Structure 1
Amino acid sequence: MNPWLDARHYEKFQAYSLSHGVFLVVMVIAIFILFQSRNWLKQGNHRRNGRYVIACILIVCESSLNVWYITEGTYRLRSTLPLELCSISLYLCVLMLFTKSRTIFQIVYFTGLGGALQALLTPALAYAYPNYRFMEFFIAHIAIILAVLYMVWVEGYRPKLFSVALAMIFLNVLLVVVGFMNRITGGNYMFIARKPETASLLDVLGPYPWYLLSLEGVALLMFLLLYLPFSFGNRRAASGTLQR
């Protein structure tokens, strides 16, 4: 058995270990490279090709993950369906990158960017480096962030204030749907049924089920903070339109 692929015998992930820190640095470097390359990516076919490359990375991550579940015999309805917020955001990001959907962007700017950042900072992950699952987890979440920022820096998309409400509505509808699926499968998708075993933000938000209410406030605050960099520019653009 290849230890890199072994789903049953592995070293346990430790938050803020050397490998965790290295991949957080990789995330920062990837974001910096994307920002520095934004003008080059706007030229000719680079704009489209860049979107397709990120989309393909996301597709390979998700496809290979499901193949790994099946080949390792760990595929379970209660734990391996793509019903986590970041999994759903991944699918939406792929669709956004291929279709250039502005509506999807208005959702994943908040759910994808906020969810992936939180997942990278406090991973609900069992597998340590260099296990495949560790690598896939970090690559997929970094790619989600890059997908959203690509649409901002290269395609020129901007989140709107109303999109904060749109993202909150989407998130709450998702909670109902995923909660129903949890009852059917016996799962804990989106940690609606209980907190994760690993350390996470939920640990400071109170006991079950009250942490779900606290999480609503945290999500709203995070979405508003993510919108903040664009609030002044959007107000100025609106003011300029009214003056004309």
Structure 2
Amino acid sequence: MGPVEDRFEAYGLSHWVLLVLIVAGSVLLVVLGRGLRGDGVERWCRAFAVVVLAFNVPLLVFRLMPGEWDVTESLPLHLCDLAWMVAAWALWTRRVTPHALLYFWGLTLTPQAIITPALDSPDFPHVNFIEFWGQHLLVIWAAAFLTWGIGMRPDWRGYWVSGGVTVTWGLAMLVFNEAAGTNYGFVSSKPENPSLLDLMGGWPTYLAVELVVGMAAWALLTWPWTRPREPVTAP
């Protein structure tokens, strides 16, 4: 018999290391972004987009291969899967809509996944561990870099567009899950691991509570960037 692989444990050593890495990397990327000027902004943004794609696309292809295929897990239909695609889009184009999606998903939904990770996997360096944490880490780093680093800002239009896209995705996942017997997005039932959804009642109540709480949180994340500024007058 081969050696027994250590299982990932929430708030074990590897979890704490990754949490520190996410925070430290975000701070470093913000400092880097604030120091960029002119063509350097585009070069770094596009290089970052390439890194996001280079990490995620091979893993996506790997999951779709016959030996790995599982309809319940392999399709890139969780919001965290869509978030890395949006991150690459936002980094490459620096357009308002993908940045808004990245900002709201990356700073509210992705942190939930890293605080209460739904990861039943061997610990590092197993591919499942690397995929889960690398994907979430890059999304948060991209959101921090674009927002606080190079100065992109969400607005109320982005707020409503992001809300509409998210609701549309949720409804589509309800239909798909019913047809395929899956649970993408955890919209058909709660994850087995403890999560914030446990505080929101049973199905479908938790979906409505999640929507209300989520939109309120997104509004609070939008308001600081859009509130009127008092003019500064000379003494």
Q: Could you tell me the TM-score, scaled by structure 2's length?
A: 0.87
Larger deviation: 45-54 or 91-100?
45-54
After the TM superposition, which residues 43-82 of structure 1 pair with which residues of structure 2 at under 5 Å, given as runs? Answer: 43-70=37-64, 73-82=67-76
Q: Tell me which residue corresponds to 1:22.
A: 17
Decide whether aligned partners of structure 1 residues 128 and 226 sit closer, same or farther in structure 2, where only a CA change above 3 A counts: farther
Distance of 1:46 and 1:10 partners within structure 2: 44
Q: CA deviation at 1:60?
A: 2.5
Unaligned runs of 5+ in 1: 4-8
RMSD: 2.3
Give secondary structure in 2 for the equivalent of 1:106: helix
Unaligned runs of 5+ in 2: none
Cα shift readout 1:21-60 (whole Å, capped 9, x = no counterpart): 11000011001111222233x2344312321232123212
Distance of 1:69 and 1:10 partners within structure 2: 21
138, 141, 153: which one pairs with 1:146? 141
Q: CA deviation at 1:202?
A: 1.0
Decide whether aligned partners of structure 1 residues 47 and 138 sit closer, same or farther in structure 2, where only a CA change above 3 A counts: same
Q: Tell me which residue corresponds to 1:6.
A: none
Contact 2:104 2:162 in 1 (8 A): yes
Q: Which amino acid aligns with 2:40?
A: H
175, 179, 183: which one pairs with 1:184? 179
Decide whether aligned partners of structure 1 residues 84 and 157 sit closer, same or farther in structure 2, where only a CA change above 3 A counts: same
Q: CA deviation at 1:148?
A: 1.7
Q: CA deviation at 1:149?
A: 2.0
Cα shift readout 1:62-106 (whole Å, capped 9, x = no counterpart): 223224425682312232111101111211121121122112212
Decide whether aligned partners of structure 1 residues 84 and 223 sit closer, same or farther in structure 2, where only a CA change above 3 A counts: same
190, 196, 200: which one pairs with 2:191? 196
Distance of 1:208 and 1:172 partners within structure 2: 16
101, 107, 132: which one pairs with 1:113? 107
Q: Could you tell me the TM-score, scaled by structure 1's length?
A: 0.84
Contact 2:60 2:76 in 1 (8 A): no
Q: CA deviation at 1:226?
A: 2.2
Q: Which amino acid aligns with 1:53?
A: A
Q: Tell me which residue corresponds to 2:85.
A: 91
Give secondary structure in 1 for the equivalent of 2:123: coil
Q: CA deviation at 1:17?
A: 1.1
119, 123, 129: which one pairs with 1:129? 123
Distance of 2:182 and 2:5 partners within structure 1: 23
Q: CA deviation at 1:209?
A: 1.8
Distance of 1:101 and 1:36 partners within structure 2: 21
Contact 2:96 2:154 in 1 (8 A): no
After the TM superposition, which residues 159-170 of structure 1 pair with which residues of structure 2 at under 5 Å, given as runs? Answer: 159-170=154-165
Distance of 2:118 and 2:172 partners within structure 1: 21
Give secondary structure in 2 for the equivalent of 1:37: helix
96, 103, 118: which one pairs with 1:102? 96
Q: Say if 2:168 is the partner of 1:173.
A: yes
Larger deviation: 106-115 or 84-93?
106-115
Q: Which amino acid aligns with 2:48?
A: I
Contact 2:34 2:150 in 1 (8 A): no
